[in-house]
Structure 1
Amino acid sequence: MNEGKRPASFYVLALFFAAYVLFLYGPTITIFVLSFQGPEGGLTFPMRGVSLHWFAKLAEGVGVVDIWAAFGRSIRVGLVVMALNVVIALLAGLAFRKRFFGDGALFYTSIASLIMPSIVVSLGIGLAFRLLDTGLKSWFESMGWQELADGYGSSMGLYTSALGAHLTWTLPFGLLIMFAVFNRFNTAYEEAARDLGATPWQGFKDVVLPIIGPSVIGVGMFGFTLSWDEIARTSQAIGDLNTLPLELQGLTTTVTTPVIYALGTVTTVLSLVVVGVAVAAMRMLARRKAG
């Protein structure tokens, strides 16, 4: 009689899981809801009307901060990080298919940044580039290029120090994914391609890449989304121009209207769009492979 009845532990665990999900996504849902308040809306409940007023205000700009310029910078650096993440992780995965001298040390060095405190990584990168700036200025002066030394600013920037800081966070994830993929890759497919006369490049392009394609897309998705919302590693290594997360962090202390929630909603939706595109691309590749 009690075969179909669930034990009491099931309901306890289900309640615990529901509380966990609410704790995890509740703040995001709250921000999403409050961003659609009317003109008289505040930062807390109860809501005062429902409208797109704060999204219109966001389009006009947020105070003295050029939020859309920061938005564009984050998009651009995210795309560059995504491309580098895919290329480096894929090449590393191919290289590590065979043992070579120092491969263990190189592997652990590559993923060591995952266990290092983010702020320490950021401070280290910032210090390294400041020392580089000091060295370059000293060299310019020693060469008699005083005008160049006086006009020199800093080598720190979006595509130098900030890009490196982002890669210390995104690249280890890409490497671990590709190492796992190639660790269980069946080399019989490549051997069959070689038996049929395929060159190494043709074997990679027509055999290996289509099989690992979903994983490559996943590496790219990780690269973009992790770069998109990175703060700690960027904070001391960004230079003069901030990315969107840094601007958003600064705005939380000065903006007291739901426009900050509207900005959070837009950035979250963009992240979800990237994930959705990646999942759709993976499914498309899976259907092509099955067909």
Structure 2
Amino acid sequence: MDKRSRSFYVLACFFALFLVFLYGPTITIAILSFQGPQGGLTFPMRGVSLHWFHDLFEQQAVGDIWGSFSRSLLLGLMVMATTVVVSVMGGLAFRKRFPGSGVIFYLIVTSLVIPSILISLGVGLIFSQSGLPVHWATSGFGSQLTWTLPFGLLIMFAVFNRFDKSYEEAARDQGATSWQTIRHVILPIIAPMLLGVALFGFTLSYDEFARTLLTAGSYNTLPLEIYGMTTNVTTPVIFALGTLTTGFSFLIIGLFLAVVVTLNRRRSRLGSDAGQGLV
């Protein structure tokens, strides 16, 4: 058995420190959320219990936790669906060069480097000056799309850049229309990637703060509500909320990954069955 070099252990320690830096704050909050009824916002812990999780489901003196959660959930689903549809349409459109395609591409990428708070301010001003209501489902929805659409489009550009066009040609040889080719050939093949775009869209929207700050109107989304609670909540209930929302995010990621694995296994099984049929 080969002995590992010293550089391996140095890099392993560096990676371990990176993981601690990345997940340490989340783990700290999770630990503090399990304090007893007399617990505070810092260590040392005062007892161990589920008191603060139970307190989340009681009537809160400040904040609108579950109302803001429902708004973030609905907004995330809206952004997710729009991101998937527009990204697929954009990916299909950019498969062929057209006048102005380069300019449009760079305009899409530019929105990623503009400071988020400026996007929020600009969208909020456009809605208010146009006499339109500044609301989480309108202006907030639009500002978040400036964050999720570029990621979705870039993923689709990469997917279609590697897409084997022979599948489409075979479908057309069999008499399929353009819509039938997209529906029965292209979409099933890129389905796992579409789930990745959907996951990007939902999680980026669900956690977004800066681009929603000045566009949500009088109703907070969950990140805005948590931020507001940091100024007037002095109990570990805010840690319990953070733990639950983090757990919810991991649950969503796990569900998406499970669907992707299921689709890949199904596609592999169908490919194997088709190969056996040819034999």
Tell me if 1:41 matches 2:51.
Answer: no
Post-superposition shift, 1:64?
A: 2.6
Q: How many residue pairs were aligned?
A: 269
Which whole-Å CA distance do the structure 2 matches of 1:113 and 1:201 have between them? 31
Structure 1 unmatched runs, 5+: 134-153
Which whole-Å CA distance do the structure 2 matches of 1:197 and 1:128 have between them? 48
Give 1:56's aligned residue: 54
Aligned match for 1:203, one of 181, 189, 199: 181
- Counterpart residue identity of residue 24, structure 1: L
Deviations 1:50-109 (A, max 9, x none): 211101111114323121111110001110000000000011001111111111111111
Tell me if 1:118 matches 2:116.
Answer: yes
Deviations 1:166-188 (A, max 9, x none): 10111111010011000110000
Aligned runs of 1:118-197 on 2, under 5 Å? 118-133=116-131, 154-197=132-175
Q: Is the CA contact 2:64–2:225 (under 8 Å) kept in the aligned structure 1?
A: no
Give 2:26's aligned residue: 28
Structure 1 segments (4+ residues) deviating >3 Å: none
Q: Is the CA contact 2:34–2:51 (under 8 Å) kept in the aligned structure 1?
A: yes
Deviations 1:153-173 (A, max 9, x none): x51112211001110111111
Identity of aligned residues (%): 60
Give 1:92's aligned residue: 90
Deviations 1:242-290 (A, max 9, x none): 1010010011111111100000011111111111111011111101111
Which whole-Å CA distance do the structure 2 matches of 1:289 and 1:204 have between them? 17
Which whole-Å CA distance do the structure 2 matches of 1:32 and 1:273 have between them? 16
Aligned match for 2:242, one of 236, 256, 264: 264
- Counterpart residue identity of residue 207, structure 1: V
Q: Is the CA contact 1:122–1:236 (under 8 Å) kept in the aligned structure 2?
A: yes
Post-superposition shift, 1:46?
A: 2.0
Q: Is the CA contact 2:136–2:212 (under 8 Å) kept in the aligned structure 1?
A: no
Which whole-Å CA distance do the structure 2 matches of 1:193 and 1:175 have between them? 25
Post-superposition shift, 1:129?
A: 1.3
- Counterpart residue identity of residue 238, structure 1: A
Calculate the aligned-residue CA RMSD, in Å.
Answer: 1.1
Which whole-Å CA distance do the structure 1 matches of 2:265 and 2:2 have between them? 37
Which whole-Å CA distance do the structure 2 matches of 1:199 and 1:240 have between them? 48
TM-score, normalising length from structure 2? 0.94
Aligned match for 2:194, one of 216, 220, 223: 216
Which whole-Å CA distance do the structure 2 matches of 1:113 and 1:128 have between them? 16
Which whole-Å CA distance do the structure 2 matches of 1:111 and 1:270 have between them? 30
TM-score, normalising length from structure 1? 0.90
